[in-house]
Every structure is written in structure tokens, then in C-alpha cells.
Amino acid sequence: MSKMLFTSESVTEGHPDKVCDKVSDAILDAILTEDKNARVACECFCTTGMINVMGEISTDAKVDIEKIVRKTICDIGYDDDRLGFNGNTCKVTVNIDKQSPDIAMGVDNSLEYKDGKDDLFNLTGAGDQGMMFGYASDETPEFMPMPVYLAHKLSKRLADVRKSGELTYLRPDGKTQVTVEYDGGAVKRVHTVVVSAQHDENVTLDALRRDILEKVIRPVIPEELFDSETLVYINPTGRFVLGGPAGDTGLTGRKIIVDTYGGMARHGGGAFSGKDPTKVDRSAAYAARYAAKNIVAAGIAKRCEIQIAYAIGVAAPVSVMVDTFGTGICADSDIATAVNRVFDLRPAAIIEKLDLRRPIYEKVTNYGHFGRQGNDFTWEKTDKTEQLKLALSEVI
């Protein structure tokens, strides 16, 4: 990697797509609280004055979906008609069916289990075909790419100063973007910062720009990366009053690059929000991150991307690929072999190891699913480093 610029973005929880992601995950959490084995694929879209919840859900749980939707929207901050969207008064429609029996058949009894391989972890087959990616790099303490790491911190800071009352004129919608300059693969400086913050009509543009610079950007961007040549654009159109669902239609799963690695790594295309962990779009992406992070934390590579692919109704992955972009201390094929030894990547094994049947998903919805801290984010643990080193001891 020679000298280059790379840009990633983030959005706040009031962004219309993230409103839908948060509603979907709130419904998932409510169901998992009562029925940890529920099958949930919940999506929604929102626009001016309305939100529509759709999907396939098979569960014994009794939850009031409309009540959850309204509470979630109000918690985000859309609780007043003056904001253009109000969880108390918007129209809520619910269109839910049960999971397809054709899909359930493959999830409930995998091909391996039907063939007599009655290992407990063979019982659950993958809920769909597809490929998932995980990634880690050593450029931040959280083993995340610097551009998306900083973009998420900015969008989180936007929400914090709004909710704390420090900047009372801010509204829930907002977007951030960070361009990082790399030199020889290392972070050199922040080249450009872009912040677009929804606001009340009565604030002046000069005041908003001054406040965002001093209370949002400077507390987040490290001083050693922010120099006199760093470009800063704050509300570059000059006005951002109409936002959220009133300004643009939102849809669950439309911010998958924001949710992962900001474009620094590849993406299989599957969204996370609203899906229970039998959906490998979610659980296997978490497992791939878990494996990639442990490889980098172990010092086996400076950067690592892992692809896992599945066939519907089959428990074992059809392929596992490792790419360390030339930074590994041994061949990528040897690291892939070690990954297969150390990590059980069958869906049931992933669910048990990462304890994914808990109602933890609404708190994951915003500011990235990876690089997070706390006991709930089990896929962020680095407890497999020694096992990986041991598995590679003959080739290192």
C-alpha cells in the first residue's frame, strides 16, 4: 500500500435507514427476551408520517410490535411533530408472516444431521447460502480501519451532544465522513472531515459550524492527525433542517458498509439488523470478525480479511479464505488451516460460542457492529490468540 487516501462514512441513529435498523433490532430483542429460539427476519421502511414493519417471524413470544416501534422512534429523538416525524403520531403498519417451511426445514435439520452425523452442532443448518467477510487491522486499538473508526466516533459524538443538551438545536439526523491519508500502509494524517448535522431553523450557520468544530470534531480527531491542511466541511449545503424519514425514505439493511468496515474490506451483501443468529448473514459475519481480530491481535498479520461461505441447509462452511495482504508471518493458506482448527464455524457452534441468543442487538445497531467494547460484544474478544499461535507453531 503506497501513499493513498481512503474515505469512510457513518450516520447517526436518526438517519432514516438507521431508524429502520434500530426498529428491526428492537423488535428482535423483544422477541428473544421471551423466546431465545425464535426465528426472526424483520425489516421495515419509513417515510414521512409512516413506518411499515414487514418480515417472517416464527415464535411463541407475545410482543406488541406497534408499541415497540413507537417507543424506539421516540427514544431516537423523533417525538415531536415539528421534527417532521413523530413516534407518537406516525402511522404504523405491520405485515408479518411465519418463516418459510422450506427454509425452516434446512435450518432445523442440517444435511449432515440427516446423514447421521448427529453431533449437536450439526443439528442447525445455515439459513441461506452466501458469503460473509470479517476484517481486522492493527491501525487502531480496536483493530478497526482508522477512517470508519473516526467516522463512527464523530457520529456518536453528534448524538451525545444532542442528547446531553450541550447543543440543544441539533436534531436526530446526521452524517459524518473521514478521509485518511496513508503512506506505506500506515496512517499519516486526517485529510478531510465532513459533518452534516440536522438542526433547528433558528440556529445560524456560523454558530453551528463553530460548535460542531469545537464540540464534535476536535474532541474526536486526534491532535497528531489533525493539522493545518486538514479540510473541514460542516453542513456544506448551508442548511439541514428537514431530515430523517421526512427528508428521505429509510430502509432496513441499507447501511451495510457503515455497519462493517467502511469499505476497507469486502462485503458479502447480507444485512444484519432484524435477523436472529440462525441467519449466517449476521452470525457468520460476527464469527469472521472474531477470527480476523484474533489473528491480528496474535501478531500473525497486520491486516486480515476472512471470507466464510455457506450452502443453505448445510452446517459446515463450503469454504474459508484468509487474505493478509502480504502482512502475514506465514502463508495465508496455513493461517486458513489454523482458523479451521481453532474456530468451529458451524452456525450452532457460532451461536453457542458467542452467546448470540441474547437480546443484545438494539445496542449494536448504531456506530458499527465491530470495534465495540463491552461484555455483550463477544465477537470482539481476543481469547484465541494462543491457540492460533499453537496451531501455526510448525510453520512459523
Three-state secondary structure string covering the chain: CCCEEEEEEEECCCCHHHHHHHHHHHHHHHHHHHCCCCEEEEEEEEECCEEEEEEEEECCCCCCHHHHHHHHHHHHCCEEHHHCEECCCCEEEEEEECCCHHHHHHHHCCHHHHCCCCCHHHCCCCCCCEEEEEEEECCCCCCCCHHHHHHHHHHHHHHHHHHCCCCCCEEEEEEEEEEEEEECCEEEEEEEEEEEEEECCCCCHHHHHHHHHHHHHHHHCCCCCCCCCCEEEECCCCCCCCCHHHCCCEECCCCHHHHCCCCCCCCCCCCCCCECCCCHHHHHHHHHHHHHHHHHHCCCCCEEEEEEEECCCCCCCCEEEEECCCCCCCCHHHHHHHHHHHCCCCHHHHHHHHCCCCCCCHHHCCCCCCCCCCCCCHHHCCCCHHHHHHHCCCCC
Q: What is the mean pLDDT of residues 149-176?
A: 97
On the question of pLDDT at 1 being above 60, the answer is no
More confident residue, 270 or 108: 270
Q: What pLDDT, on the 0 to 100 scale, is given for residue 369? A: 98
pLDDT tens column, 69-97: 999 999 999 999 999 999 999 999 999 99
pLDDT of 98? 86
Mean pLDDT score, 234-242 = 94
Residue 100 has pLDDT above 80, yes or no: no
Q: Please, what is the average pLDDT of the chain? A: 95
The 10s digit of each residue's pLDDT in 338-373 is 999 999 999 999 999 999 999 999 999 999 999 999
* Confidence (pLDDT) at 154: 98
Q: Is the pLDDT of residue 113 over 90?
A: no
